[in-house]
């Protein structure tokens, strides 16, 4: 090896060490082995929430085993009850939890309780159903952008003209409000597309099927469906029962939806899947752990976790990797979380 080559190799090695050291330094290393983190979940009535809880338990239990933290249980309220979740958070404060990750029933109704938690020195990380209280961190998805992408997809498929049915999630939850806003804003770009109906499917296949079946007889031809994920199979079943062809829509990422989509491709049905991976709750977990460990993370900026996209070409492999009854998902490690946090900065 020539002298210049040796110098170049030495310089590259030194630079690599510096980069590795900087990357390592980005992970806060304060001792959190005696800290306790809790998950407060507003409801668990669909596959997405069940998968979220499974992902939380898997990562948190391993973190306990690795002595990263002392405990990280999950607590779920009965069914979207503000008073119950507020009481749950108050109990977690009294029980000495150092951090609470909360999937909140409302963006505003829990703010008083969240403020009490912060005043008691508890780190609060709101996830998915985020809260407005400034003392809490916010880990979320770009729900408005997600809904707008769905409308753009419909416009592409329909050449900007057609009747659209909107199938929303759970009424009153911030996620549903944001996605509805995204649909309405995106529809303004396409004067040839008309919103002819709107129902709440509660992000549940059976509820969505019943709601769509109830409104279809009152509607003209439906050319596309603007939906919020994890409802497309139920929506398709309602159209089938009404002897109407399934219109274009964004598919969710549960096994029944991906399997249905895969079956429809035999008849030429084309689509794409765009969803918020429930395993992103593990990102929120590591945010809480890193704040406890001393990492400086801004509270005034919502950290949007990437959505999970499945193209027509990727469908067979994604379906094969999704367990029956399960959901296509993504989980985050500590290094991945820190890398995304620092990129957001």
Q: Look at 1-5, 129-133, 204-208, 262-266 and tell me which has the smallest mean pLDDT.
A: 1-5
Q: Phi and psi dihedrals of 28, rounded to 5?
A: -65, 135
What whole-number distance in Å separates Cα of residue 139 and Cα of residue 109? 18
What whole-number distance in Å separates Cα of residue 307 and Cα of residue 142? 8
What whole-number distance in Å separates Cα of residue 26 and Cα of residue 295? 8
Q: Look at 3-17, 51-65, 199-213, 294-308 and tell me which has the smallest mean pLDDT.
A: 3-17
Say what the pLDDT of residue 46 is: 86
Q: Given a cut of 70, is residue 2 above it in pLDDT?
A: no
Whole-number CA gyration radius for the chain: 22
pLDDT digits (tens, 9 = 90+) for 272-331: 999 999 999 999 999 999 999 999 999 988 899 999 999 999 999 999 999 998 999 999
Cβ neighbors of 266 (< 8 A, separation 6 or more) are none
Report the DSSP beta bridge partners of residue 39. 74, 101
Q: Given a cut of 60, is residue 8 above it in pLDDT?
A: no
Provide mean pLDDT across the span 14-25. 39
Reported as a pLDDT band with limits 50, 70 and 90, residue 23 is very low
Q: Given a cut of 90, is residue 24 above it in pLDDT?
A: no
**Strands 273-275, 308-310: pairing kind:** antiparallel
Say what the pLDDT of residue 16 is: 39
pLDDT digits (tens, 9 = 90+) for 136-172: 999 999 999 999 999 999 999 999 999 999 999 999 8
Say what the pLDDT of residue 114 is: 98
What whole-number distance in Å separates Cα of residue 202 and Cα of residue 213? 14
Domains of the chain: 37-141+278-306+331-344 (3.40.50.2300), 143-275 (3.40.50.2300)
What whole-number distance in Å separates Cα of residue 249 and Cα of residue 224? 6
Token pair recorded at residue 338: 């820190």
Q: Given a cut of 70, is residue 1 above it in pLDDT?
A: no
| Between 18 and 322, residue with greater pLDDT | 322
State percent of the chain over pLDDT 70: 92
The per-residue pLDDT of the chain, averaged, comes to: 91
Reported as a pLDDT band with limits 50, 70 and 90, residue 345 is low
pLDDT digits (tens, 9 = 90+) for 53-87: 999 999 999 999 999 999 999 999 877 789 999 99
pTM of the model: 0.85
What whole-number distance in Å separates Cα of residue 243 and Cα of residue 281? 39
Q: Look at 16-25, 218-227, 236-245 and tell me which has the smallest mean pLDDT.
A: 16-25
Q: Given a cut of 70, is residue 21 above it in pLDDT?
A: no
State percent of the chain over pLDDT 90: 86
Say what the pLDDT of residue 18 is: 32
Q: Given a cut of 70, is residue 42 above it in pLDDT?
A: yes
């Amino acid at each position: 090896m020539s002298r210049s080559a040796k110098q170049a190799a030495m310089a590259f090695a030194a630079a690599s060490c510096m980069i590795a050291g900087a990357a390592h330094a980005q992970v806060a290393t304060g001792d959190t082995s005696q800290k306790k983190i809790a998950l407060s979940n507003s409801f668990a009535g669909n596959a997405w929430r069940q998968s979220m809880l499974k992902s939380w338990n898997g990562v948190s239990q391993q973190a306990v085993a690795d002595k990263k933290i002392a405990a990280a249980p999950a607590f779920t309220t009965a069914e979207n009850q503000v008073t119950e979740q507020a009481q749950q958070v108050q109990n977690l404060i009294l029980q000495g939890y150092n951090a609470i990750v909360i999937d909140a029933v409302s963006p505003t109704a829990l703010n008083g309780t969240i403020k009490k938690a912060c005043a008691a020195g508890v780190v609060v990380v709101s996830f998915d159903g985020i809260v407005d209280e400034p003392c809490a961190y916010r880990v979320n998805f770009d729900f408005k952008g997600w809904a707008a992408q769905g409308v753009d997809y419909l416009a592409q498929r329909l050449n900007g003209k057609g009747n659209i049915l909107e199938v929303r999630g759970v009424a009153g939850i911030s996620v549903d409000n944001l996605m509805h806003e995204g649909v309405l804003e995106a529809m303004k770009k396409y004067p040839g597309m008309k919103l002819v109906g709107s129902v709440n499917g509660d992000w549940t296949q059976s509820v969505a099927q019943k709601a769509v079946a109830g409104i279809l007889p009152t509607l003209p031809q439906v050319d596309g469906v603007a939906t919020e994920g994890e409802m497309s199979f139920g929506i398709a079943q309602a159209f089938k029962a009404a002897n109407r062809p399934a219109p274009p829509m964004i598919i969710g990422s549960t096994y029944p939806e991906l399997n249905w989509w895969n079956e429809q491709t035999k008849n030429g049905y084309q689509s794409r899947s765009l969803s918020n991976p429930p395993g992103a709750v593990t990102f929120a977990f590591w945010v809480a752990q890193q704040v406890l460990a001393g990492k400086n993370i801004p509270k005034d900026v919502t950290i949007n976790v990437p959505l999970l996209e499945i193209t027509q070409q990727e469908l067979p492999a994604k379906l094969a990797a999704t367990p029956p009854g399960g959901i296509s998902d993504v989980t985050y490690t500590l290094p991945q979380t820190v890398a995304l946090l620092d990129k957001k900065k």
